[in-house]
Amino acid sequence: MRTTLTIDDDVAVLLKRAMAHSKRSLKQEINAALRAGLTAPDAQLRRRKTRTRSYDAGECLVGSIDDVSNVLAVIEGESFK
């Protein structure tokens, strides 16, 4: 299949390096890169699961965060009741 590709500058640099290292043509190098990417196992394509550690920030300083005026008063240091 013939097609036209628009390759980003950073990818072009990587392709040129790979071509110099492998002594393959542009066509061969692009085909090899596409094969490697398209046939990679799903496990390699998935992102690793990350975990966010919890932190106990203590007791809430306001009764309810739905009461905006009370939250603003606490933030600004006012004694609001």
Band of pLDDT at residue 60, cut at 50, 70 and 90: confident
pLDDT, mean of residues 15-25: 93
pLDDT, mean of residues 70-75: 82
For 55, the token pair is 């932190």
Q: Are 49 and 64 in contact (CB under 8 A)?
A: no
pLDDT, mean of residues 44-64: 78
For 61, the token pair is 């300083």
Residue 19 within a domain: yes
Q: Are 31 and 22 in contact (CB under 8 A)?
A: no
Comparing 27 with 38, the larger pLDDT belongs to 27
Query: Is residue 50 predicted with pLDDT exceeding 60?
Result: yes
Residue 38 within a domain: yes
For 34, the token pair is 């596409």
pLDDT, mean of residues 31-47: 77
- Give the chain's domain count: 1
Gap between the Cα atoms of 81 and 76, Å rounded: 14
Query: Is residue 7 predicted with pLDDT exceeding 90?
Result: yes
Residue 26 within a domain: yes
Gap between the Cα atoms of 19 and 68, Å rounded: 62
Gap between the Cα atoms of 5 and 14, Å rounded: 15
Comparing 27 with 67, the larger pLDDT belongs to 27
Residue 29 within a domain: yes
Q: Range of 27's domain?
A: 9-42
